[in-house]
Amino acid sequence: MSATLQEWSTATKIRLQFIRPKTTLGHLLSVMQQDPSVTRRYFYSIKDIHIGGKCVCNGHASQCDQSSPDDPYKVSCSCQHNTCGSQCDSCCPGYHQYEWSRATLDNPFVCEKCNCNGHSEDCYFNQTVAEQRLSTNIHGNQRGGGVCKNCQHHTTGINCDQCQD
């Protein structure tokens, strides 16, 4: 199969909208002859088709990769803003200080690394922690809901910021 055909076969959800049918002027004859079959003489004509496409990347990618690790026949996004997933639909591991959000023109959301004080590389987002302002972000502010997992070096706490007993 050629590369051009492979690229075409990845297209999905293509919709053609036929706005106005062409006629053989049968509608004028039908008025005079009272012919009910006139609507069978209507037809649509396609002169040219141009198709463009994009990946659904939730505002976190400007281009797509042709090969996905999960499915070789599926395209995946080249994620930015510390996002991961075939559609950039989650924050990458260790970047869960804030709840994932779709990027928009008004809010170009970027997943932020959790502040684990160098004692962990992994974390998760907790809404209750965010509401109570118990987590410290990388700028030293009590914002977000990042909770560090698997604190090392005998540390514990939301930000691996306390010594174990």
Asked whether the whole model's pTM tops 0.85, one would answer: no
DSSP code of 35?
-
The confidence band for 14, taking pLDDT boundaries of 50, 70 and 90, is confident
What are 58-108's pLDDT values in tens digits?
A: 989 888 876 656 666 677 788 999 999 888 999 999 999 999 999 988 888
Report the alpha-carbon angle 102-60-13, nearest 5.
85
Q: Is 92 exposed, middle or buried (0-12, 13-18, 19+ CB in 10 A)?
A: middle
